[in-house]
Amino acid sequence: MKTVLITGAEGNIGSRLLQNLAGRYELRALTREPVPGLASTVADVADLDAIEPAFAGVEAVVHLAASASVGTPWPEVLHNNIEGTYAVFEAARRAGVRQVVFASSNHAVGGYEVEAEERLYHPRAGIMLDQRTLQRPDSLYGVSKVFGEALGRYYSDAFGMSVYCLRIAWVRREELELPDGLQGIRWPPKDHWISREELRWRLAAFWLSHADLAGLVDACLRAENIRFGIYYGVSNNPLRFWSLDNALADLGWQPHDAAPLPGGDATLEQ
């Protein structure tokens, strides 16, 4: 059974992976707080000396640890997302880890969403981004994910590491439900208020189910002869605007879930 270290395993995405990958791999955690029932190293992800022991005997790393908000101020982005990502790749290299799955984000190309605004979620928008789409971050958080992808490419080329960058869309704790009472949010990349209705359309385009998330990570961990790749982490939603073709071609992965169109009775022809 392959030994897999998950950084940030106590977070939203990490906790979902622990639930769904249990039994398939020998899982370990690098976290800020111990994970009950799991071998855990508690350390600051940016402290290379402190995290290095967690990588001993590990065959693959799933790197999730980061400040996850698009509104994260620069000092936190720098420490957690940039210095932390470097420390993880370097610790993996020193330990001889052969695979790293890096949690990138849709915000690495979020500038296209900002430019298109709500037109992007329309069934007839005619926009489809793929792994060759020029990176276009929408925030300093997005910049940090572009950095992580570039760093992964370097470690792949320079040290022969297999690196899979997953541009994750939107993993909800409540799956397809928006919180009760939520009327809208202030969205920093667009710098304006997004209504609950707009959020419902965005979720219908961006949703990544817990099962599809685990399936994509599992496909990366099982992959062979793939040195580097960028893949979109999104369920097979009718409104999605990211291509999944290379995930199928390289990894044999395709999502099984799909978010229905808002309103229930809407169709793509409307």
Cα distance between the two ends of the chain: 49
The amino acid occupying position 258 is A
Considering 25, 141, 231, 232, which one is annotated as catalytic?
A: 141
Whether 231 is catalytic is no
* 191-200 per-residue burial string, b: 16 or more CB within 10 A, e: under 16: eeebeeebbb
Picking from 2, 190, 187, the residue whose alpha carbon sits closest to that of residue 112 is 190
Output the CA–CA distances (angstroms, integers) from residue 87 to 46, 145, 159, 168, in the order listed: 6, 15, 15, 21
How many Cα atoms sit within 13 Å of 244 on the Cβ side?
19
Picking from 109, 125, 98, the residue whose alpha carbon sits closest to that of residue 223 is 98
| CA distance linking residue 232 with residue 254, whole number of Å | 11
The residues assigned a catalytic role are 141
